[in-house]
């Protein structure tokens, strides 16, 4: 028996399955993955990525369960991420 392990303790529920039923990847003209469509039963998660002219990630938008979360990245002169802002809206 594991010390500190309680088999009767409540377990958190999962938002969705660990692995999707199907995954579709789309690439832009540069060969970068700019869209991922994951199907979890009747739920679909779409991840859209846009890129800056230097190839760094500009935005990542994730749509799932009627919500769209968009993350926008900023970079310092060395090309390291210096900040990230996000917003979430109903779709």
Is the alpha carbon torsion for 15, 19, 21, 22 positive or negative?
positive
pLDDT of residue 1 exceeding 50, the answer is no
In a domain, 63, yes or no: yes
Q: Does this model's pTM top 0.85?
A: no
In a domain, 56, yes or no: yes
Nearest to 88 by CA among 73, 71, 65, 74: 71
Q: Average of pLDDT values for 44-53?
A: 96
Q: Average of pLDDT values for 45-69?
A: 96
In a domain, 58, yes or no: yes
Look up the domain containing 62 and give its range.
22-90
Give the span between the Cα atoms of 13 and 16, in whole angstroms.
9
Tens of pLDDT, residue by residue over 3-42, are: 555 566 555 555 545 688 999 999 999 999 999 999 988 8
The structural domain count of the chain equals 1
In a domain, 11, yes or no: no
């Amino acid at each position: 028996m594991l010390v500190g392990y309680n088999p009767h303790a409540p377990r958190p529920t999962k938002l969705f399955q660990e692995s999707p039923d199907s995954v579709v990847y789309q690439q832009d003209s540069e060969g970068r993955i700019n869209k991922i469509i994951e199907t979890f039963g009747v739920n679909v998660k779409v991840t859209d990525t846009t890129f800056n002219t230097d190839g760094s990630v500009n935005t990542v938008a994730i749509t799932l369960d009627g919500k769209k979360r968009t993350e926008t990245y900023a970079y310092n002169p060395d090309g390291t991420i210096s900040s990230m802002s996000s917003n979430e809206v109903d779709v």
